[in-house]
Structure 1
């Protein structure tokens, strides 16, 4: 079974505002509210691609938390979230037509007791299960949290996928995650450099393999992607041609696509192509990638 982890889920309020001006009253032209969080995006794309999975994490028992659960249940996303008493599930505002511009909430406060409830659920994972650890953590949780989870499960034969930044990622590396997926900016930040080309990414992806990651998938938006396999192979790919509609969730879709492709054929290049196809499918769509669009893009690569 595949499990996704979203420690800090959200309701994403996605709007377009023509001629946005600071200090002025701005009115939306389009708007929608969707369940969000990196792990949830991964779960939904996996589901779209026909891969069963269960979403885990923390969610508050207030109105935002209940609406978040209502939305993912409407979408038939299987889940087993831990209920959190303090704070509120985030509402994130995202300006769709000003790419990369958003205001994200801070999330709830998660106690040690609530964290232990999640550990109890994780202790049920078995040999060859896949656990995808994605995104940020809320207040009350230490930066070592993903590392602690991996340490706790390391003797069970669980495969770990980590899509996180800074200390969350650094503390996970000693436990040899099967896959990590930084973007080029996040990878550069770890080493204090700016990485703008696929060629420049390769040596730093190798460095992070030396620190423990088995496979490294680096997303680069319009520059394409780079994949370093544990076999020593290095793959680079240009971004497929298409019209960017909205970039939100593209990196999460890449994770879901890679995992789907790898499960299908146990072949890293096929997984890489599926990852790039799924990421692009989301970027070129109003919502998250569908199987039909992913397969259509795959055929063009």
Structure 2
């Protein structure tokens, strides 16, 4: 059985805490911080692990923070392939105000990835690709990387008949789509930037997705619409699925959890309707937990069953 490779080009350590309330220019007493590995593809690997599926997490790792990131992944028994880098792995900071349940997210810029480090990442993908069924490229692109890096990954995927799933933004996303991917998961803003079309209504979302699909550059577009669920479009299929109503505590990792749920469905042979519902169940379940915590499997199972009952 072929494996899953997740690619995270801007990994991070997510440090989260909570305070009674956020007050400017005062010393705030925080709870003990919680440290978790983060970044798009890494979160996908972590979420897949919770669903009982193993994957290989490929990412750059630099300095003491990089070593800490690797140790945190070891604690979760995530198979990893770290590319050592000159620059330190970044840290992000999340603070929750207990008084209002508001979440303040401080995202640090991703450190520059040097050309020789970029080449090492690509080399590892080439070496592993023959045994990979799905490559999941998720998260932001760091400074210094070639805009067409993901296009190069797409060419490797095509050559080895691996399915490439992409969840990113900007020029890297455009280049990846131009080369061709299996599944694309943009949000509405990313879809608007990618196509130049308005995407407020379901009809507009469907038309914008078809602009990509009809060029033969993508088989499946799943547009994430936050609390409104997702809209799935293929060449001959279109469906909007509303998300279940839950008490939201945090949105950190929800998009990555959604990707993981869809990858899980793909590997288990689900049809497209069930694949997307598993993704929505995972993404929604992730919003039910505080800070940077991902979903609980029991919540996913319950939400998935509810969504499946709604299939017409």
Q: Please, what TM-score do these two structures have when normalized by structure 2?
A: 0.88
Could you say which residue in structure 1 is the equivalent of 2:159? 155
Give the C-alpha shift of residue 29 in structure 1.
Answer: 4.8
Which residue of the other structure, out of 117, 120, 127, is the alignment partner of 2:120?
117
Q: Residue 216 of structure 1 is aligned with which of 209, 213, 221?
A: 221
Q: Secondary structure at the match of 1:88?
A: coil
Is the Cα contact below 8 Å between 1:198 and 1:223 reproduced in 2? no
Cross-structure match for 1:289: 295
Q: CA RMSD in A?
A: 2.1
Match of 1:255 in 2: 259
Q: SS in structure 2 opposite 1:80?
A: strand
Counting only pairs closer than 5 Å after superposition, residues 275-286 of structure 1 correspond to structure 2 as: 275-286=279-290
1:247 to partner: Cα distance: 0.6
What are structure 2's unaligned runs of at least 5 residues? 308-312
Greater shift, 219-228 or 134-143, is seen at 134-143
Match of 1:299 among 296, 305, 311: 305
Structure 1: 5+ residue runs without aligned partners? Answer: none
Indicate whether 1:44 and 2:50 are aligned. no
Query: Which residue does the alignment assign to 1:66?
Result: 67
**Distance in 2 of aligned mates of 1:30 and 1:188:** 40
- Give me the whole-angstrom Cα distance separating, in 2, the residues matched to 1:69 and 1:11: 10
Q: For residues 26 and 176 of structure 2, what CA distance do their matches in structure 1 show? A: 44
Cα distance in 2 for residues equivalent to 1:11 and 1:33: 7
Mapped to 2, the partners of 1:253 and 1:130 lie a distance apart of 16
User: Equivalences for 1:141-220 in 2 at 5 Å?
Assistant: 141-192=145-196, 195-211=199-215, 212-220=217-225
Show CA shifts across 1:45-104 (max 9, x none). 1111111210002110x111111111011110000111002x211111123457674222
The DSSP-based 3-state class of the residue aligned with 1:285 is coil
| Structure-2 separation of matches of 1:244 and 1:38 | 20
Structure 1 residue 102 and structure 2 residue 118: aligned? no
Q: Is the 8 A contact 2:230 2:242 kept in 1?
A: yes
SS in 2 for 1:3: strand
Residues 259-278 of structure 1 aligned to structure 2 (within 5 Å): 259-278=263-282
Counterparts of 1:52 and 1:184 in 2: how far apart (Å)? 30
Aligned residues: 298
Q: Where does residue 310 of structure 2 map in the other structure?
A: none
Q: How far is 1:176 from its partner?
A: 1.9
